[in-house]
Amino acid sequence: MTGTIRASGAKNAALPALAASLLASEPVELTRVPAVRDIRTMRHLLDHLGVRSEERGEALVLHPDGEPADGEAPYELVKTMRASVLSLGPLLARRGHARVSLPGGCSIGVRPIDQHLAGLAALGADVRLEGGYVEATGRLVGGRFRFEMPTVTGTENVLMAAVLADGVSVLENCAREPEVADLARLLVRMGARIEGVGGETLTVEGVSELGGARHEIIPDRIEGGTYLVGAALTGGDVILEGAEPADLAPLLEKLADAGARVEPGERRVRVRAGGGLISQDVETSPHPGFPTDLQAQFMALMTQARGVATLSETVFENRFQHVPELVRLGAAIEVKGHVAQVHGPTPLSGSPVMATDLRASACLVLAALAAEGESVVHRIYHLDRGYEDMEGKLQHLGASVERVSGPEPG
């Protein structure tokens, strides 16, 4: 893989930004929104909830001026995407009630929403679970809430509720991911009063109404990181334009330690092959730790590194589903509980493999590029949830990859 590509906007920042339009009294204009399936799903949900969206040039304009179909986020619209739960906080804050189906998404773990519900209850909401739905009602008032553990969507949901609550809210032990900070900056542009953006504690002074805003979505550190891992894995040289090196720091440090040549710059990062890969241990953790969403891709890299790499997954309990498929390609990996040991380097050979979730899909594509012979990755509908034109970008970097039609197995 050799060449220059531009980072897409971050799916995980665009989704809460779309949900924030439920709070607005005027249009919200977003730029750099990635063209991925999860965004289309969220737009369908918002349309159902009374927010019309239109593409205007390179911008997506959200008009919160429609009449909601019935004021609820039904299972049929949210079953494939966990981020649909982000409609809960804004609906409750703006309309005084919300009925949202429990979310779906990738099968990588339980991912409960108990902290979302506890946070809303701390702001005065009456919250209950009934028939697979969350039902929340009440007028929100400022309060203090401490998350038991940092949760990205939980922080975003409670934050969006707090901006329209009466009085001051203090949210502690918040997730510090760049996507959370990006949402907070959008809300401030819309008229919210938030202090501590980017930190563990957010202080929110509620306002009576939010207006519109124009906002550019931050670059996708997970998508960009995937291509940078691919550069190191294939012995290539990739320049990622429009990236934020600081957000990629945990990965870039590991790539450098593994022997890749890493050159961060102003809104760009270059990664190229060095003198051979050396195994590196990784433990996933909330930001600013190593992101769980890059664990699978880094594991693919470690199959070609010298030594034994220990990868510990501390965020999700079921995020090694890609391991059997990597083994089918020739990898030597042992899993015990939440720890995987990768013995390398091992030659990889082309084989049919099956994706089980979004990031596993990317991992298998990268491993297939490093394998001898042809591989077929099935169930790439997972990939389409979070990667914009992946085959096009890989082709631009010189990879031999194509999308083929045909029935998906199982």
Region label for 406, one of left (φ > 0), alpha (ψ between -120 and 50) or beta (otherwise): left
- Residue 340 Cα distances to 194, 205, 346, 357, angstroms: 41, 45, 16, 18
Tokens matching residue 222: 């997970």
Residue 154 burial (CB < 10 Å; 0-12/13-18/19+)? Answer: buried
Query: What single letter denotes the amino acid at residue 393?
Result: K
Catalytic annotation, residues: 106
Give me the residues paired with residue 128 across strands: 135
Q: How far apart are CA 397 and CA 116, in angstroms?
A: 41
Dihedral over alpha carbons 262, 265, 268, 272 (to 10 degrees): -20
Give me the residues paired with residue 344 across strands: 307
Strand 2-6 to strand 237-241: parallel, antiparallel, or no bridges (unpaired)?
parallel
Nearest to 200 by CA among 182, 175, 180: 175
Query: What single letter denotes the amino acid at residue 232?
Result: A
Query: What single letter denotes the amino acid at residue 123?
Result: L
